[in-house]
Amino acid sequence: MTSDESSGTPYDAPMAGQPKFDANMRVVILHGKDSFLMTRYSSDLEDVLTKEYGEVDRVVFDGETVDLATVLDEVRTYDLLLRHKLVIVDHAEVFLVAKDSATTSTRKSLEKYAESPVSSATLLLRAPTWRKGNLDKIVNKTGLVFKLQEMNEHDSVRWCVGRSGKEHGCKLDTKAAQLLVKLIGTSLARLDSELGKLAAKVAPETLISYEDVVEMVGLSREEHAWEIQSVVLSGNSGAVLTKIGELIDISRQPRELLVWSIIDLSRRLAAASAMLASGSTANDIRRSLKLFGNSGDRVIAVAKRRSPSILANVFTDAIAMDAKMRSGKLDSRRGVEILALRVCKAIA
């Protein structure tokens, strides 16, 4: 039981603050927008009830369509097998604003129920948004009102690292976790889905690297970041700076992904030039370097105009500059601009 509303922190993260459920709780309110935490905490409550009462009869209603009478009838009706009931109402914020009768609101009627709930069932109200009121005070006397924490980037990164090891059996590099959060955002459901894909991709290895995130997440979800390659290939330095500004300031693309994109372009240019010098055909180069469409033609065209040594030096310089940015010796935005302009100048 609690006397005040609790505030949640990320499940599976190395920190405290998760809800403390009790088998004697008869009304529980969980509210917040993270669907992953909502599902996990609901399962935690059911586990506590199962441990105390054995098998639990779980019933779920949609608060946007169900009425109070139906919910209370379910709560008050004994299970035929005498199991404890867990009755869940989703979209509870909508459910509570409906009218129970011409003069009484659902919220008021539920307040009356919460003052003297039945002992054979637990009512769980789940809502993405919540308006505090007298119901909260009543519920907290015999149950729990719990707000899911809105995750920030720092906590999300910590959660990803912990979750990767505990649930997916992989070690997640910290820089890889930071990039993943930048690309996906702080939704734990989406992050967990991507962690599962990354774990499957690296198997049978157990380390998820920065490069793995760029390859699996960046390429598929942040295609706008790769627009910088075509602009760099144009050799127009003004257009390059304009595009970088658009991608960072307007499209909000991670600078790390832009850096990786430019490095990847310089790598392909150097490799294509070296292969041409060794006698490889354009089709051989396309297949080997996975060059497709007009962009592939432009890479090969540039590789034909520049010597392998020049393009090899461009690639080497790009790697060195990336190292400076990662170590903090060079501002990342300034580094993206310098790196793009150097490649642009070398191929113009």
Compute the distance between CA of residue 29 and CA of residue 145 in angstroms, rounded to an integer: 5
- Residues of the chain above pLDDT 90, percent: 47
| Topology, domain 6-147 | Rossmann fold (3.40.50)
> What confidence tier does 8 reach under pLDDT thresholds 50, 70, 90?
very low
pLDDT, tens digit (0-9, with 9 covering 90-100), for 307-330 = 999 999 999 988 988 888 888 888
Compute the distance between CA of residue 146 and CA of residue 28 in angstroms, rounded to an integer: 8
pLDDT, tens digit (0-9, with 9 covering 90-100), for 256-310 = 878 888 888 999 999 999 999 999 998 889 888 877 767 788 889 999 989 999 9
Indicate yes or no: pTM above 0.75: no
Residue extents of the structural domains in the chain: 6-147, 153-221, 225-347
Task: Please give the CATH architecture assigned to the domain spanning 225-347.
Answer: Up-down Bundle (1.20)
Closest residue by Cα to residue 266 from 209, 223, 308: 308
> What confidence tier does 100 reach under pLDDT thresholds 50, 70, 90?
low
Q: Is the pLDDT of residue 242 over 60?
A: yes
CATH of domain 153-221: 1.10.8.60
Mean pLDDT, residues 27-32: 96
